[in-house]
Chain A
Amino acid sequence: MNFDLTEERQMLQDSLRRYLRDKYSTATRNQILESAGGMSADVWAQLAELGVIGALFTEEQGGFGGAGFDIAVVFEELGRAGVVEPFMDSALIGGRVLAACGKTELVEEMIGGGLQLAVAHGEPTSRYDLSHVRTSVDGGKLNGRKAVVMNAENADHLIVSARASGDEADEAGISLYLVAKDAAGLNIQGYPLLAGGRAAEVTLDGVEGELLTEDGFAVLGDVMALATMAQCAETLGAMDTATRLTNDYLGTRKQFGRPIGTFQALAHRMADMLIEMEQARSAVINAAGNLNEDTRTRDMNISAAKNLLGRAGRLIAEESIQMHGGIAMTQEYELAHIAKRITMADHRFGDTDHHLERFIALSAA
């Protein structure tokens, strides 16, 4: 066994961490959060140049990584710094769907940093069910509504799932289409998100698109497995920041004439946070290391990680705020943003309960 990062991954982690520490301060990020697009084109371009996007793709796909641990390293650092740029939705999910569908040129453009994507899959009634699609395709025309579509306004292309056959919860019959941003009948209503970035409600009224695959569920299943693992790694990085900030605060903030960390009631809870951090790190390693195993093994490890990160994340976000007191409630303090990232991560790719039930079902299978 060897739990050390390879030399290449260590270099990627170091350079990414250094860049974000130097260039992505809380003040810089707060400006980005308030900007109209909810992201910085400069940050995107510079991180693309650092290889952040390339690391998410295999060599055959035009990248130089693409394995579970490559993706985990990148997203842990993005999470540690609370990055709001859409590396998850545009680069990883959008890019890997296109790669799986053989759209090599677009993937190259994406890796170079010159392309923004959005995947419009979830619907107002689908919650966390991947197979739940009502949006229909008939005679090549797409009709329906997509919910909380990340990065839709910035995207050059939308990848839209639509049902060509079957009932609304069937795994079979889901096709994926590539839709240009300016396609007729496409309406994008954007809004900001609590934890940064922007999303939109997307309606499709007789929209024409290019068919990417008729086996949409399988493609999405594989890519969402990657994305869920990446989300766990990102949350792990954010949890690490919350834990570090809290530890620092307990050592410096004085009440009743001594640092509050010397009160046993707080010291023991800090210890619990540190224990949960180790649990979370191991769960992410399990998820990343089992990505290429059979689907059931892969998904059990991913659901285990998402459930554990949901529980540990809630503990760490809430305890960090509580032990900081009022200062953590203020928008301009680093922890406020980080705590929101951790908590909102539970609302992506299935929450704590969803993955508990999925783990139970997979265990019984």
Chain B
Amino acid sequence: MDLSYTDEELAFRDEVRAFMRDELPKEMSDKIRLGDELGKEGQEKWHAILNSKGWLAPNWPKKFGGAEWNAVQRHIFEEEAAAHHAPRIVPFGLSMLAPVLQKFGSKEQQDYWLPRILDGSDWWCQGYSEPGAGSDLASLKTRAVRDGDHYIVNGQKTWTTLGQHANMIFCLVRTDPDVKQQEGISFLLIDMNTPGIEVRPIILLDGTHEVNEVFFDDVKVPVENLVGEENKGWTYAKYLLTHERTNIAGVGFSQAGLNTVKRIARAEMAGGKPLMANPHFAARVAQVEIDLKAMATSNLRIISAAAAGGAPGVEASMLKVKGTIIRQEINDLARRAVGPYAMPFASEAIEGSNEALPDPHEAGPVAAQYFNNRKLSIFGGSNEIQRGIIAKVMMGGGQ
């Protein structure tokens, strides 16, 4: 074992640092540092910058235009990106749909859709959850009925993240209602501009518009938009979920969040001393930092092992549970750190209406982020589902 980086890895880190220093626009990193929304245009701009460097798709094979980085390289990139307050990459096309297309899609689908993901022609969103099917995904009801060259889709999806920006959605639909739940599901690519689709915003508890409901009313989808085989969609969905979970430890986000907590706590005064000198607060910060250091190594161990033998299974569930607990604890410390200034509601909408933000500006978004990030332990298979998976695999039991 050797925990230090090799010379090559150090050189790679220097290259990433130089890139972040030279290519990441300052107005972008300022926004991310202060917890502001980047918006669609900003996201597209950052995607284009990464794409021109060939770094937009770290996990894709080179033959599809990816960087094909190994686990350590990806870790270094994530760490540097977070440290420089780079925007988070919108994952739906790049790291969720693309692996499915690369493994199960037809040659035509790969040739058409993958370059469009890289050059930004398409903004993808995910149509998995439904009002009655959240963590119990297999109970989904949205129907797709074959009619000649088309499927006719009816139903409703929910929690569709950034669906308001998307022109394409990948959906799980029920194509056979008469078999066991998991066996009658198919994986469809649907153009959001097709007649019969309606997108309605859901406003979250921190005032943000991040997720949507999507309604399908007799929506015609060409059969060539079916990925893989009809009724085999559950296999592809599970593959996608495993990929989604590989990035969910969120080490970079936690590290950046921890830095923010420390920066605030060094500036905030409590009882005539910096808050960071307060033993209770310092103990909480130290404990989460200790947990984060260990998890960062777990993350590396797991993705290194996975790099050799495909996507990780139960270990991804472990990273999701621990990673979200740590991120949420850091969010909690940040809101505590700013004291009474956690109370103002400093949403983007308010900034837009020219209402005055209280000082310190950094305090504005931390409580909103605390509330927004309650979602981390709910989405992508709730932490209860993940614990069930861990128990079932490791103990042969489960619920």
Contact = CB atoms under 8 A, between A and B. Distances in A.
Q: Do A and B come together as binding partners?
A: yes
Interface of A: 122, 124-125, 127-129, 147-148, 169, 189-195, 199, 201, 255-256, 263-266, 314, 318, 321-322, 325-326, 328-332, 336-337, 339-340, 343-344, 346-348, 351, 353-354, 356-357
A148 B343 contact: yes
A125 B339 CA distance: 10
A119 to B, nearest CB: 13
Contacts of A332: 203
Interface in B329-361: 332, 335-336, 339-346, 350, 355-360
B377 to A, nearest CB: 6
Contact of B207 (A189, A190, A331): A331
Contact of B206 (A148, A194, A346): A194
Interface residues of B, number: 56
B350 A169 contact: no
A93 to B, nearest CB: 14
B356 A191 contact: yes
7 contacts: A148-B358, A191-B346, A194-B342, A199-B344, A322-B382, A325-B378, A330-B203
B321 to A, nearest CB: 12
Give the interface centre of A189, A192, A201, A348 by most chain B CB atoms within 10 Å.
A192
A127 B205 contact: no
A330 B384 CA distance: 20
B374 interface: yes
A357 B135 contact: no
B204 A330 contact: yes
Interface of B: 129, 134-136, 139, 158-159, 202-207, 268-272, 275, 278, 280-281, 328, 332, 335-336, 339-346, 350, 355-360, 367-368, 370-371, 374-375, 377-379, 382-384, 387-388, 399
Contacts of B378: 321-322, 325-326, 329
Contacts of A265: 384, 387-388, 399
A44 to B, nearest CB: 21
Given A169-B272, A329-B204, A331-B204, A194 B374 contact: no
Given A326-B134, A331-B207, A353-B278, A194 B367 contact: yes
Given A127-B339, A169-B272, A255-B134, A329 B375 contact: yes
Given A322-B383, A326-B134, A127 B270 contact: yes
Contacts of A169: 272
A92 B249 CA distance: 46
A255 B358 contact: no
Contacts of B280: 353, 356-357
A138 B336 CA distance: 35
Contacts of A357: 280
B384 A266 contact: yes
Contact of B343 (A330, A337, A344, A354): A344
A192 B345 contact: yes
Contacts, number: 142
B7 to A, nearest CB: 45
A82 to B, nearest CB: 13
A314 B158 CA distance: 28
B358 A201 contact: yes
A127 B278 CA distance: 13
Given A124-B360, A127-B271, 9 more contacts: A127-B275, A147-B340, A148-B358, A192-B355, A193-B343, A193-B345, A194-B343, A194-B368, A255-B135
Contacts of B346: 191
The 5 A-B residue pairs whose C-beta atoms are closest, nearest first, are A336-B205, A255-B136, A189-B356, A331-B203, A194-B345
A266 B382 CA distance: 12
B368 to A, nearest CB: 7
A201 to B, nearest CB: 5
Contacts of A147: 340-341, 358
A127 B159 CA distance: 38
Contacts of A328: 205, 374
A147 to B, nearest CB: 6
Nearest to A147: B340
B307 to A, nearest CB: 32
B201 to A, nearest CB: 10
A226 B205 CA distance: 30
Contacts of A148: 340-341, 343-344, 358
Contact of A201 (B129, B335, B356, B388): B356
A325 B130 CA distance: 13
A326 B159 contact: yes
